[in-house]
Structure 1
Amino acid sequence: MKNRVTGIGGIFFKSEDPDAAKAWYKKHLGLDTDNYGCTFWWKDKKGNDCSTQWSPMDKETSYFEPSKNQFMMNFRVENLDELLKTLKAEGVTLVGEPESYDYGKFGWILDAEGNKIELWEPVDKVFLK
């Protein structure tokens, strides 16, 4: 595979009080927060609109499992299905089954230290409507 990861899709972390965290970052750092956190918009080298999500999540979320860590990274990828096949062949642990939504496809893996990593083949234009 030529390109595997094409950018950061998101940073997700557990928070004691996600609403207070979003308010603090909005007030002190100027993040344009909403119910999910903050979406950063940028252009890739081809000029395509792309997004990166920043989201504090409830400290009790099970979304990061089986990892016990307080964070999860999301990486943007070009071809999720092909990448998951390649990673599996390389001995990388896949977590769960891939899922598809109107805003993209998702798959999950564990890194060498057991951190859950989310892989996202995005459809950014859905967010621009």
Structure 2
Amino acid sequence: MAEQPGHVTGVGGVFVKSKDPRALAQWYREVLGLEIKPWGGAALPFDAPGHPPKVSWTAFPDSTDYMSPSAREFMINFAVDDMDAIIARVTAKGIPVLKRDDTDPFGRFAWIQDPDGTKIELWQPKKN
């Protein structure tokens, strides 16, 4: 049976408020290597080599501590191609790694925070 029209086809963007959007964009450029465009954001290709074929959306209970130590109501997960290289880049910029997990069945994970306090989950998917 053919799928009916009128459904979500994917994530089209992540938009956040910031007291200093330019400084935050600069941080994402310098620390995570995002190519910030003149319009102030980055366009991340979904078909980049090694990028996972799906984007997750999950609602957590209000009582979760998964986003801790951030007080924000959301967290961003960025897929990365080389966890060791991104961790070297992050720590060279003086950003502390909150936690690492190299044994998860889904791949390797590490967590950091941006200057606005948003927790960022870095994920290198497990190769099949």
- TM-score w.r.t. structure 2 length? 0.58
**Following the alignment from structure 1 to structure 2, what is the Cα–Cα distance between the partners of residues 52 and 68?**
23
**Following the alignment from structure 1 to structure 2, what is the Cα–Cα distance between the partners of residues 47 and 96?**
23
Residue 111 of structure 2 is aligned to residue 105 of structure 1: no
Say which of 120, 123, 127 aligns to 1:120. Answer: 123
User: 5 Å matches for 1:43-62?
Assistant: 44-46=47-49, 50-62=53-65
CA contact (8 A) 1:98 1:107 kept: yes
- TM-score w.r.t. structure 1 length? 0.58
- Which protein, 1 or 2, shows the higher relative CO under an 8 Å CA cutoff with sep ≥ 6? 1
**Following the alignment from structure 2 to structure 1, what is the Cα–Cα distance between the partners of residues 56 and 121?**
12
Q: Structure 1 residues 64, 49: CA separation in 2 closer, same or farther (over 3 Å shift)?
A: closer
CA contact (8 A) 1:76 1:122 kept: yes
Structure 1 gaps, min length 5: 1-28, 32-42
**Following the alignment from structure 2 to structure 1, what is the Cα–Cα distance between the partners of residues 76 and 48?**
22
Question: Aligned pair count?
Answer: 88
Q: Structure 1 residues 86, 114: CA separation in 2 closer, same or farther (over 3 Å shift)?
A: same
User: 5 Å matches for 1:24-103?
Assistant: 30=7, 44-46=47-49, 50-103=53-106
1:46 is displaced (CA, Å) by 5.0
1:55 is displaced (CA, Å) by 0.6
1:83 is displaced (CA, Å) by 0.8
Indicate the structure with greater strand content: 1
Runs of 4+ in 1 over 4 A off after TM superposition: 45-49
1:109 is displaced (CA, Å) by 0.5
**Following the alignment from structure 1 to structure 2, what is the Cα–Cα distance between the partners of residues 47 and 30?**
26
Question: One-letter code of the match for 1:100?
Answer: T
Question: One-letter code of the match for 2:89?
Answer: T
SS in 1 for 2:109: strand
The root-mean-square deviation of aligned C-alpha atoms, in Å, is 2.7
**Following the alignment from structure 2 to structure 1, what is the Cα–Cα distance between the partners of residues 49 and 118?**
31
Q: Structure 1 residues 62, 49: CA separation in 2 closer, same or farther (over 3 Å shift)?
A: closer
Question: One-letter code of the match for 1:95?
Answer: L
